[in-house]
């Protein structure tokens, strides 16, 4: 696979104002059954807990994107376990831009590494129940409806 390249802010705005953005969102499971959640430091949803996730790059396979995103956002090396479904955000506000994101949700299992946050995170932690603090509603609903956390 070629080394994927991030889009410039200008290219991101131009492209994703016209077509949906494909994303992977991850349920990162630790050996003891915990789930990694990240508190956002950037828009959209600044200050909200969410699952790790990111854009699938051109010529990158979905499961390769899942492994890359897990490493970048959590510090963990992972293996893909299963695909759980999808979440859709048709009216996601990014500054002055309205984009449509479709996220394939993939459960991955931690095989090595140490938990560490990236620059887009205010905080990162492993949870065994859904936090009571603010979370992205679609993420929290998905986690409950798919049995990741009890209702």
Q: Tell whether 3 is covered by a domain.
A: no
Tens of pLDDT along 16-66? 888 999 999 999 999 999 999 999 988 888 999 999 999 999 899 999 999
Q: Tell whether 151 is covered by a domain.
A: no
Q: Map residue 81 onto helix, strand or coil.
A: strand
**Which pLDDT band, with edges at 50, 70 and 90, does 14 fall under?**
confident
pTM (2 d.p.): 0.90
What mean pLDDT comes out for the span 123-149?
94
Domain extent, residue 58, equals: 9-145
- Domain count within the chain: 1
How is residue 62 written in tokens? 């979905």
Q: Tell whether 20 is covered by a domain.
A: yes
Predicted pLDDT of residue 151: 57
C-alpha 83/C-alpha 7 separation (Å) is 26
**Which pLDDT band, with edges at 50, 70 and 90, does 10 fall under?**
confident
Predicted pLDDT of residue 78: 98
Residue 141 has pLDDT above 90, yes or no: yes
Q: Tell whether 1 is covered by a domain.
A: no
């Amino acid at each position: 696979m070629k080394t994927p390249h991030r889009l410039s802010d200008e290219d991101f705005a131009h492209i994703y104002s016209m077509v949906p953005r494909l994303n992977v969102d991850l349920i990162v499971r630790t050996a003891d059954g915990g789930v990694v959640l990240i508190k956002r430091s950037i828009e959209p949803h600044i200050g909200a807990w969410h699952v790790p996730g990111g854009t699938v790059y051109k010529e990158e396979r979905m499961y390769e994107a899942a492994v890359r995103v897990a490493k970048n956002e959590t510090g963990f090396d992972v293996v893909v376990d299963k695909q759980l479904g999808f979440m859709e955000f048709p009216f996601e506000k990014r500054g002055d831009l309205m984009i449509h994101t479709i996220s394939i949700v993939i459960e991955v299992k931690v095989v090595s590494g140490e938990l560490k946050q990236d620059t887009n995170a205010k905080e990162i932690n492993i949870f065994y129940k859904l936090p009571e603090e603010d979370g992205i509603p679609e993420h929290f609903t998905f986690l409950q409806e798919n049995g990741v956390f009890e209702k």
